[in-house]
Each structure stands twice: as C-alpha cells, then as structure tokens.
C-alpha cells in the first residue's frame, strides 16, 4: 500500500509549492508570489542577470530566453520598488515597453555599461548558427542617448567594427546583413582587459555545433561602445572553423591536446566553451581569462599587460591547474570567488572533473589545488552562484541542476570547504534549472534567488528565511602601488581588488572611491569604476605636488564601509608657477594664515589649494586679476590683491585649521595666465582679522 503522505508531498513538489527537500530547517522557501504571470512567462530560459536599469536603488532582472526549444523574446522584470513606488521585491514584466521586439535563441544575457555613460546596457549571446540571428547590443536610452533611462534600443548594426574585414578572423561569408555574424555563442564576459577604462568583450562559441573547432574571440572597446576584434596575427578564416596549421588568433603558450598549431609555439583558441569568466587570478591587477569548455579541458589565459606593457595572453593551463584532474569533457561552467577569504580568486568548477563539482583553491599566484569534490554533485548540475546566505561573512554556494534538485552549500569554516545544507526545487521530471543568480532583491538584508528554468517552465524565486542582516564590510586586500611622480597634465590609472560576501557582479555596484591628501590637505574623493572581475579602477590627478597619501574605500548597500591600507608617493615639479608677494598679518596666535599650492595648473586639470589657519576659524578667500604691493586696512589686515574679483569663497577651517579649495582650469585657458589670491581668517572676534601673503599662480 502506498504512503498517502509521500504522495501529497510529491504533488506539492511538482506544483512548485514545496520549496525545499533534504533538510529539517529550510534556509530558502520557494515564493513566486512576486513574479509576473501571463503569456510568455513560462518560456525556455537559459540565463538570468540582475542590475539596476533605472538607477532607482533596487535590483531588476533580465532573462535570456530561447535555448534549444525555439525562438523566444528575451524578457525584463522591473522591481516595483524605487521609482515604481510599489513593494520592493515584486516584479513587473515590462518586456513589451522596454525591450526591442525580437525572436532570439539566446544562451546568455549580460548587463554591462559598454558605452561608459553610467547606465547599464545589455549584450545577448545567440545561437546564430541555427537561425542567423547574431549576437545583440541593446543600448540603454538614458544619459548620452538622451532618452528615458531603463528603456532599450537595438544598436547591433552600429556596435561592431570591421567584421569580416582586414584584421578580422571572421570570414566575410559569416557576416550577416543586420551587422553581426554567424556564430553559436553560449556565453560571454566583459572586463577592461587593456586597462583603458572601458569594458571589452570575451566571446565564446560552442564549436561542437559546427562540427569543428571554432575560436573564442576577443573584442576591444574603442571607448565609445564600439567593438573591434583583437587579432594580433591578422589571420582570417575561410570557414567558421580553425583548421590544423592555422595560426593562433590571440594567445600563445602551452601546447594543448587539441591545439591546431602543432609546433606548440602558440596555443590555439579553438573551443567548445560553454562559459567564460574574467578576473585577476595572479594578483597583478589585470584581468585574466578562465575558459570553460565542454569537449576539452578548461583553460586559463594569463593577461601579460602588466608584465610587458602590451596586451597579450599566454595559455598557462598546465602550470595553473592540478595535474590529471580533468576529464576533458563536460566541463560546463565555473565561478570565480574568494571562498577561503585570503584575498585572491578561487574556482568553483561545475562537472570538474567528470560529473563532479570541484572547489579549487588559489595560492595567490594562479596555481590551483583541488580541496574538495562537492557532496551530491551530479551530471546535470548546470550553473552556480556564490552568496552569503547566512551572513557570516564568507561565500556559500547555490547550484542549479537541470534534471534534479538544486543545492545550497554552506562554507563551514570560511576556508572554502562546503557542506550540503539544503536541496530546493523539484526533482527529476519537473522544472529544468539552467541558471541561478543571487541578490537581495526584496531589500531585507539577505540574498534571495531567481532560478532560470528551461522546458517552458516558469522561472522560480526562492526567499531567504533566515533574515540575518549583513554587517560585513567590503575587503580591499590589494591595491596598486604608486611610484613618485613628476607633475604632468594627464592623470594616471590605479587599481584595487575589492571583495565582499557577495558574487563579484554584486560588488561592481558598490560606491568605491579613492581618498587623497596632499601635505595633509584632503582633496575631493575620486570615484572608481568597476573593471569587472574583482578590480576597480580610478584615475588619479597627475598634477599633484607634495607628499601624497591615499586610501581606497568601498561601501555596500547596507552602509558597511571597508578601507584599504594607505599608499604614499611624492609629486614634484621644476616649474615656477607659484610665488608670494606683499605683507602678511598675524592672527592672535602670532601666525599668519597661509595658502599652499597642491597641484600645477595645467589647462584641463584642477588646481587644488590648501588653506591653513587657526582651528575652526572662519575664512574668506579671494581670487583676483591684479595685485598691489600691500594696502594696510586700518585696524584690520594688509590687502595684497585688488582689481576684479574672479572668485571668492568663505567657510570654516577644520579642527586642524585646514580647508581645501579646488578650481577647474578650463581646457581653453592659455599657458602663462596669472591670477592672484589672498586668504583672510577671523578668529571669532570681529576686530581680529588676519591675512596671508598674496600669491600669484600662473597656468602652465
């Protein structure tokens, strides 16, 4: 006789009403009440990504629909919090109004600010080999587009440069009329590979679909959101496939078993890649490439920009990965994250090796050791995502399974060794999980999960029931050193590694800044932008003079702020741009206020001036177009400047008696222009005014 209780539980699971299995206390419970319903929602979704498309402070979601089942419309869910003035964590399907109308077979979809204007755009990878669709660039209509933020237009036809032309590996016959090219793209990743301040593209192709070896390609951003292939050899294929003897397109290094360059001098980039990830694996602040594959071993390509000054990649797979650990097949996917908390990126490898999921620990210099095969991992595990579900400060792991239960793993001691704590979803014969992304989309302080489902099943949402708040600040373990500088007009980039108890695509949205002081005077904070991976990049002023000290700081959504160690350097100059004149008048403490030039005023830079006087004193600062030898103001101070007042500022000095004035120097201002300034302080008594010397500053 059958067990009626078991039957009831099975029915609840198949209906999606039972959100956990295998544990007595569920950390996650399935709750789809905030998900849209209606036509098109139950589709075949390959991928989900989160971002704030309308910059209203909550997480929106996009979905790559299509897969193997047919052409579908990619979708966008808008969080009803923020600008929508509704309950946060409840989603509206606004595909019909915000997205172009297309019928794609999308494998991957990514948020990225590819035009560098501060809003997030979208790139979708499509199986164009079947339907000649090509991969798509969708531009956010806000900011430089001058339209409505969070609404998208298809600009695929204008975003590629030189496809099928000189320097392109793509055969002319593979270029499509809509401005893209024939491909079977399964995944992509973005990052600033060449350290020029914009997002470049690493683009995979599942070569097995062509019956041959199809290259992974790199496309560099020209700074305006248009992409040209990085192909140093200049070789162009005659078909979609790399044949034996064809040169490598962008990588050199170790001879691989499937290499097409039999000399071994260069590594091929033929692939069957189902997943691509970029991150700084060797700790040198440039982005390396982790290249997952299905029909060959996973591979690691080291970016040699930092070492050589020129963008190039070397295949270091044999040296970086443990020997004999991979089967060379079915290595579906991987994720990068610092799961042992030591300040470098480790690897979760799905079906690495065989049909087992592996945790690989980085020694800090891109040498990996396998520390664990995950319990209950299996052949149909498809995607994983890091999260800190219990808010203990380390990275846990959620794994989506195609034919069985999804799995939640807990990082037991913070060292990356995982234990299975929950199995969620429905068993074989139900939904087919292809991807899972984890963010706090309901704003309650802990991460939730959306699971992308294939086979025309509705995507599923799991809510965190622990309700533990995040009190862990971001970590900035490594910062790029800065050498002493001779003051010059151009700024220079510096980079830092930023980690948090989130997947790093969540960390990309953390407000991150560099705080600088020059001679003890604080300058305005400098905003850093994500280079993707775990890297942030800021451009420091090149015109500073004096002793410079700086720290990095990053703040998460819960106002937890982390800071780095300090870096220091000296800025010097031989230019005579700054001189004093006239007479100073002492304050009651016997010292006159002073003005110090903290930077050289080149056209197109910012002039920073340090004001010094009595602690807490009120100050009055004047910039004029003339000077006088000194005019005594009876009972007050000596006036050293006259003529037209170009600018005047007033305020209070801080507890150290300091304030900073920052003046933009226009690009059109000629060299040799001299202006004059003087500082007055008032020590709380109307009759006791003190004045500095006059100062002449000449643009360079």
Q: Work out the pLDDT band at 77, boundaries 50, 70, 90.
A: very high
User: What local confidence, expressed as pLDDT, does residue 161 receive?
Assistant: 96
96-111 confidence digits (pLDDT tens): 999 998 888 888 999 9
Q: What average pLDDT does the structure give for the chain? A: 87
Average pLDDT over residues 581-593: 88
139: DSSP letter:
E
* Helical spans, DSSP H, in 137-275: 156-159
Is residue 69 scored above 80 in pLDDT?
no
Is residue 23 scored above 90 in pLDDT?
no
Give how far Cα 420 sits from Cα of 267, 410, 417, 513, Å. Answer: 38, 6, 10, 38
User: What local confidence, expressed as pLDDT, does residue 18 receive?
Assistant: 38
Are residues 516 and 537 in contact, defined by beta-carbon separation less than 8 angstroms?
Answer: no
Those residues with Cβ within 8 angstroms of residue 7's Cβ, 6 or more apart along the chain or in another chain: none
User: What local confidence, expressed as pLDDT, does residue 132 receive?
Assistant: 62
105: DSSP letter:
-
Average pLDDT over residues 62-73: 75
User: What local confidence, expressed as pLDDT, does residue 685 receive?
Assistant: 53
> How do 561-563 and 535-540 pair as beta strands?
unpaired
Residues 14, 114: Cα–Cα separation, whole Å: 41
| 3 state DSSP class of 103 | coil
Q: Work out the pLDDT band at 612, boundaries 50, 70, 90.
A: very high
Bridge partners (DSSP) listed for residue 160: 227
User: What local confidence, expressed as pLDDT, does residue 391 receive?
Assistant: 95
Residues 591, 138: Cα–Cα separation, whole Å: 62
User: What local confidence, expressed as pLDDT, does residue 210 receive?
Assistant: 57
Is residue 261 scored above 60 in pLDDT?
no
Q: Is the dihedral of CA 458, 509, 197, 338 positive or negative?
A: negative
Are residues 643 and 628 in contact, defined by beta-carbon separation less than 8 angstroms?
Answer: no
The larger pLDDT score, comparing residue 414 to residue 594, is at 594
User: What local confidence, expressed as pLDDT, does residue 75 receive?
Assistant: 93
Ranges assigned E (strand) in 440-489: 448-454, 460-464, 475-479, 485-486
Closest CA relative to residue 472, chosen from 410, 388, 529, 528: 388
User: What local confidence, expressed as pLDDT, does residue 430 receive?
Assistant: 58
Pick the range with the lowest mean pLDDT from 1-10, 316-325, 521-530: 1-10
Are residues 99 and 152 in contact, defined by beta-carbon separation less than 8 angstroms?
Answer: yes
User: What local confidence, expressed as pLDDT, does residue 356 receive?
Assistant: 83
514-554 confidence digits (pLDDT tens): 999 999 999 999 999 999 999 999 999 999 999 999 999 99
Within 10 angstroms of residue 141's Cβ, the number of other Cβ atoms is: 18
Pick the range with the lowest mean pLDDT from 268-277, 554-563, 610-619: 268-277
Average pLDDT over residues 676-691: 80
Closest CA relative to residue 533, chosen from 564, 503, 565, 494: 503
Average pLDDT over residues 461-479: 95
| 3 state DSSP class of 562 | strand
Is residue 24 scored above 50 in pLDDT?
no
User: What local confidence, expressed as pLDDT, does residue 674 receive?
Assistant: 96
Is residue 11 scored above 50 in pLDDT?
no
Is residue 372 scored above 60 in pLDDT?
yes
Residue percentage of the chain with pLDDT more than 90: 65
What are the φ/ψ torsions at residue 242 (nearest 5 degrees)?
-80, 125
Is residue 226 scored above 60 in pLDDT?
yes
Residue percentage of the chain with pLDDT more than 70: 88
Is residue 163 scored above 80 in pLDDT?
yes
173-213 confidence digits (pLDDT tens): 989 888 888 887 888 999 999 999 999 999 887 765 656 67
Pick the range with the lowest mean pLDDT from 139-143, 208-212, 247-251, 566-570: 208-212
Pick the range with the lowest mean pLDDT from 80-84, 589-593, 682-686: 682-686
What are the φ/ψ torsions at residue 385 (nearest 5 degrees)?
-145, 140
Are residues 345 and 279 in contact, defined by beta-carbon separation less than 8 angstroms?
Answer: yes
60-74, 264-278, 329-343, 573-587 — which one is most confidently predicted on average? 573-587
Closest CA relative to residue 433, chosen from 452, 407, 461, 456: 452
Is residue 278 scored above 90 in pLDDT?
yes
User: What local confidence, expressed as pLDDT, does residue 501 receive?
Assistant: 97
User: What local confidence, expressed as pLDDT, does residue 245 receive?
Assistant: 66
User: What local confidence, expressed as pLDDT, does residue 183 receive?
Assistant: 81
Pick the range with the lowest mean pLDDT from 39-43, 230-234, 639-643: 39-43
Is residue 260 scored above 70 in pLDDT?
no
């Amino acid at each position: 006789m059958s067990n009626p209780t078991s039957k009831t539980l099975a029915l609840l699971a198949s209906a999606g009403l039972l959100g956990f299995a295998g544990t007595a206390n569920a950390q996650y419970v399935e709750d789809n009440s905030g998900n849209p319903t209606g036509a098109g929602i139950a589709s075949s979704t390959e991928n989900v990504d989160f971002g704030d498309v309308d910059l209203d402070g909550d997480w929106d979601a996009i979905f790559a629909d299509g897969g193997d089942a047919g052409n579908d419309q990619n979708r966008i869910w808008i969080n009803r919090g923020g600008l929508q003035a509704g309950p946060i964590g409840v989603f509206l399907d606004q595909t019909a109004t915000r997205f172009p109308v297309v019928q794609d077979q999308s494998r991957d979809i990514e948020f990225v600010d590819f035009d560098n204007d501060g809003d997030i755009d979208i790139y979708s990878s499509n199986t164009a080999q079947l339907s000649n669709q090509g991969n798509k660039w969708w531009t956010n209509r806000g900011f430089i587009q001058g339209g409505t933020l969070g609404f998208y237009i298809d600009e695929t036809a204008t975003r590629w440069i030189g496809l099928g032309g000189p320097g392109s590996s793509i055969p002319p016959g593979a270029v499509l009329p809509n401005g893209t090219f024939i491909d079977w793209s399964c995944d992509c990743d973005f990052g600033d590979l060449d350290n020029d301040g914009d997002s470049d593209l690493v683009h995979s192709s599942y070569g097995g679909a062509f019956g041959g070896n199809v290259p992974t390609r790199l496309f560099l951003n020209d700074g305006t959101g248009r992409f040209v292939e990085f192909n140093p050899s200049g070789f162009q294929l005659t078909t979609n496939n790399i044949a034996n003897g064809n040169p490598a397109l962008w990588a050199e290094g170790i001879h691989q078993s499937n290499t097409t360059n039999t000399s071994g001098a260069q590594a091929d980039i033929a692939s069957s890649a189902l997943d691509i990830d970029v991150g700084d694996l060797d700790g040198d602040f440039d982005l390396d490439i982790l290249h997952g594959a299905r029909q060959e071993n996973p591979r690691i390509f080291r970016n040699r920009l930092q070492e050589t000054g020129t963008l190039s990649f070397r295949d270091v797979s044999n040296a970086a990965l443990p020997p004999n650990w991979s089967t060379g097949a079915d290595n579906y996917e991987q994720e990068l994250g610092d799961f042992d908390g030591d300040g470098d990126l480790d690897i979760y490898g799905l079906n690495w090796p065989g049909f087992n999921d592996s945790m690989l620990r980085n020694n800090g210099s891109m040498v990996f050791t396998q520390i664990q095969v995950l319990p209950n991992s299996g052949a149909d595990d498809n995607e994983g995502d890091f999260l800190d579900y219990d808010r203990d400060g380390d990275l846990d792991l959620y794994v989506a399974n195609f034919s069985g239960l999804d799995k939640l793993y807990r990082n037991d001691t913070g060292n990356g060794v995982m234990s299975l704590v929950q199995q969620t979803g429905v068993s074989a014969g139900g939904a087919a999980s292809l991807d899972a992304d984890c963010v706090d989309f309901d704003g309650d302080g802990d991460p939730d999960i959306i699971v992308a489902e294939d086979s025309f099943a509705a995507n599923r949402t799991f809510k965190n029931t622990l309700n533990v708040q995040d009190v862990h600040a971001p970590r900035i373990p490594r910062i790029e050193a800065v050498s002493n500088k001779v003051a010059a007009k151009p700024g220079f980039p510096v980079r830092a590694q930023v980690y948090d108890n989130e997947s790093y695509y969540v960390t990309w949205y953390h407000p991150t800044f560099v705080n600088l002081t020059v001679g003890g005077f604080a300058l305005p904070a400098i905003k850093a932008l994500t280079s993707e991976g775990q890297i942030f990049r800021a451009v420091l002023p090149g015109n500073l003079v004096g002793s410079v000290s700086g720290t990095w700081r990053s703040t998460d959504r819960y106002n937890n702020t982390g800071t780095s160690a300090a870096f220091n350097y000296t800025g010097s100059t031989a230019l005579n741009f700054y001189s004093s004149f006239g007479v100073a008048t002492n304050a009651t403490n016997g010292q006159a206020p002073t003005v110090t030039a903290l930077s050289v005023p080149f056209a197109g830079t910012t002039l920073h001036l340090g004001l010094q006087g009595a602690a807490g004193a009120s100050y009055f600062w004047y910039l004029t177009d003339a000077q006088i030898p000194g005019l005594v103001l009876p009972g007050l101070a000596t006036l050293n400047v006259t003529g037209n007042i170009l600018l005047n500022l007033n305020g209070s000095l801080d507890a150290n008696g300091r304030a900073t004035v920052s003046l933009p120097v226009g690009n059109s201002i000629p060299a040799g222009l001299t202006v004059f300034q003087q500082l007055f302080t008032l020590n709380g008594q109307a009759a006791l005014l003190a004045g500095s010397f006059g100062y002449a500053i000449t643009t360079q």
